[in-house]
Amino acid sequence: MALFRSLWPSESAPAIAGSGISLRMPRQSDFEEWAALREESRDFLAPWEPTWPEDDLTRAAFRRRLQRYTRDQQADIGYAFLIFRDKDGALVGGVTLNNVRRGVAQTASLGYWVGEPFARQGYMSAALSALVPFAHGALHLKRIEAACLPHNGASTRLLEKQGFTREGYARKYLCIAGEWQDHLLFARLSADPT
Residue-level pLDDT at 14: 64
**Mean pLDDT per segment of 10 residues, for the chain of length 194 residues?**
44 78 97 98 97 96 97 96 98 98 97 98 97 96 98 97 97 97 98 86
Phi, psi (rounded to 5 degrees) for 101: -120, 125
Helices 153-161/123-137 angle, 10° precision: 50
Instruction: Enter the pTM of the model.
Output: 0.91
Q: Which residues contact 51 (CB under 8 A, 6 or more apart)?
A: 175, 177, 178
CATH of 3-189, one of 2.40.30.20, 3.90.190.20, 3.40.47.10, 3.40.630.30: 3.40.630.30
